[in-house]
Amino acid sequence: MRGKLFQRLSDPKTLYQAFRRIRRKRLRADIDDHTVQAFERQLNRHLQELSAVLREGRYVPEPARRVHIPKPGKPGQTRIIALSGLRDKIVQEAVRSIIEPLFNPLFLDCSYAYRPNKGPHKAIGRVEHYLRNGYEWATVCDIDDFFDSIDHALLMKRVRTRIWEPEVLRLIEMWLRMGVIDRGRWVDVEAGVPQGAIISPLLSNIYLHPFDEQMTGAGYHLVRYGDDCLVLSRDRQTATEALQMATSVLQKLHLRLNPEARPIAHRNAGFVFLGFLFKGERKSIAPEKLQGMQRHLRQRLRELDQMELPRVIDELNETLGGWRRYYGRGVVSDQFAFLETVLIDQLATLLERHYERGQLSRPDEARPALERIEWLTTEDLNEQEKLVERVMERFRRRQALA
C-alpha cells in the first residue's frame, strides 16, 4: 500500500500543477523551448506515463549536467549549477509542493529564504530593525562551500523527522546520490545538494534548522537567508561569543565558516549582507556587487549585439527591472545613476555597430526603441527622455568623429 504523500505527489493532477508552476516561474530556463513544446503537445500522455513510472517504482532521475558559472569579482572561481531534465524538474516540484507544508511550520522566524511570505526584503528589514534598536555589532557567518558540504546522512535524519514514507524518502535519496555529468565526464556524488535543483532550497533549510534553533535558543539575534547568516549584537564581546557558538554548531553539521571572511564589524566600519553594504546610517549596494553589475551590463550588451534593437531593449529591461525591484530607487539612486552612465556609453557603442552593419539607416531610427527603456533612476517621462537624448548625443558625437 503506497503512502498518502506518495499517492498525492504521483497523481497526474499534481504533476500537471507542477508543470504549470515550472512554466510560470521560469524554472525551465535551462531547458530549450523545443523540449518543452514537444512535451506539452502530448502533455496528458506524458504526465500519465510519468505517474505510472513513479507508482510502479521505475522512476530513476537522469544525471544532472553541471555548469560552471564564473563568480563576479573572483577570477578563477566558479559557482557550480546542476541542470536537470524537464521530467525530473516536474517530479521534484511535485515533491516540494507536498512536503514543504510539513516543514515550513517548524522553521523559525529568523529564516527568510525560499519560504512563503518571506524573502530578502523582509530579511533586510529585520536587520534594519535591529540596527535601529542598538544592535550595532555584526557577526557575518559566511558558510564555506555550503551546498556541496551538506552531509547526506545528517540531512536524511532531519527529513525523517517529518517524512516516513519509504517511496518519498527514496526519491529524495536518489536525487542526492545521483552522479552528475561534469564537462562530459561522469562524477560520483558523496555529499552536498545540487545547486539549481528545485528541491535543494527546501533541503538546505531543513539542514540548517538546528543551527537556527541553537543560535536563537541561546538568545542571539540571528537573520538567515539560505547560507547567508548574520547575528547582530549590542557589543563586541557578544558578537565574538556568537561567532564562537556559530562555529561550534556548524562543525557539528560538518560545515565551516569561510576562513577568508572578516566576521565581526561595527556598523560604522560597515558590513555586507545580501548584496547591501550597511555602513553608518547608510545602506547601499555593496561595492563588489556594484562592480559585478557594471561588468554584467557591458557583457550582456556585447552578447546582444547581433539582435534587433527592440529585442535588445526587452532583454535589457528584464535586467534593469530585477535590479530596481531588489535594490529600490531611493536608497541607491547615486549608484543607479553611475550604472546608467555605463549603460549610456554601452548603448552608444551598440548603436554605432548597428549603424556600421546597416541595421540602422539613420541615427533617429533608434529612438523609438530607446524610449522603451525602463531606466533605473526615474519613471518621469521627461527625465527618461533626457537619458535617451544622452545616448543619442553620445552616438552622434562618435559618428562625427568617425
Rounded to an integer, what is the distance from CA 224 to the centroid of its chain? 15
Q: At what angle do helices 86-103 and 12-24 cross, to 10 degrees?
A: 100
CA dist 86 → 50, 51, 188 (Å): 11, 14, 22
Residue type, 376: L
**In the prediction, which pLDDT does 54 show?**
97
The C-alpha cell at 302 is: 556585447
Total-model pTM: 0.89
- Cβ proximity of 187 and 180 under 8 Å: yes
**In the prediction, which pLDDT does 28 show?**
45
Residue 268 DSSP class:
T
* First CA to last CA distance, the chain: 78
Q: Hey, how many other C-beta atoms are within 10 angstroms of the C-beta on 61?
A: 17
Evaluated on CA atoms 127, 131, 132, 133, the torsion sign reads positive
**In the prediction, which pLDDT does 358 show?**
84
CATH of domain 108-145+199-280: 3.30.70.270
3-class secondary-structure state, position 328: coil
- Nearest CA among 243, 290, 361, 228 for reference residue 72: 290
3-class secondary-structure state, position 40: helix
**In the prediction, which pLDDT does 196 show?**
87
The pairing of strands 180-182 and 64-70 is parallel
Give the phi and the psi of residue 239 in degrees, each rounded to 5: -60, -40
**In the prediction, which pLDDT does 75 show?**
64
The C-alpha cell at 77 is: 572561481
**In the prediction, which pLDDT does 1 show?**
58
- Cβ proximity of 47 and 65 under 8 Å: no
What is the rounded CA–CA span in Å between residue 306 and residue 163?
A: 51
Q: Hey, how many other C-beta atoms are within 10 angstroms of the C-beta on 197?
A: 22
From first to last of its 402 residues, what are the pLDDT tens digits of the chain? 578 999 999 999 999 999 999 888 754 455 656 678 888 889 999 999 999 999 999 999 998 888 887 765 566 677 788 888 999 999 999 999 999 999 999 999 999 999 999 999 999 999 999 999 999 999 999 899 999 999 999 999 999 999 999 999 999 999 999 888 888 888 888 899 998 899 999 999 999 999 999 999 999 999 999 999 999 999 999 999 999 999 999 999 999 998 878 899 999 999 999 999 999 999 999 999 999 999 999 999 999 888 899 999 999 999 999 999 999 866 778 999 999 999 999 999 999 989 888 888 887 888 999 999 999 999 999 999 999 999 999 988 877 776
CA dist 93 → 19, 188, 191, 197 (Å): 8, 24, 22, 9
Evaluated on CA atoms 143, 147, 150, 155, the torsion sign reads positive
The C-alpha cell at 203 is: 533541503
**In the prediction, which pLDDT does 10 show?**
97
Domain ranges of the chain: 108-145+199-280, 284-400
Q: What is the dihedral of CA 232, 234, 238, 239, to 10 degrees?
A: 40
What is the rounded CA–CA span in Å between residue 322 and residue 315?
A: 11
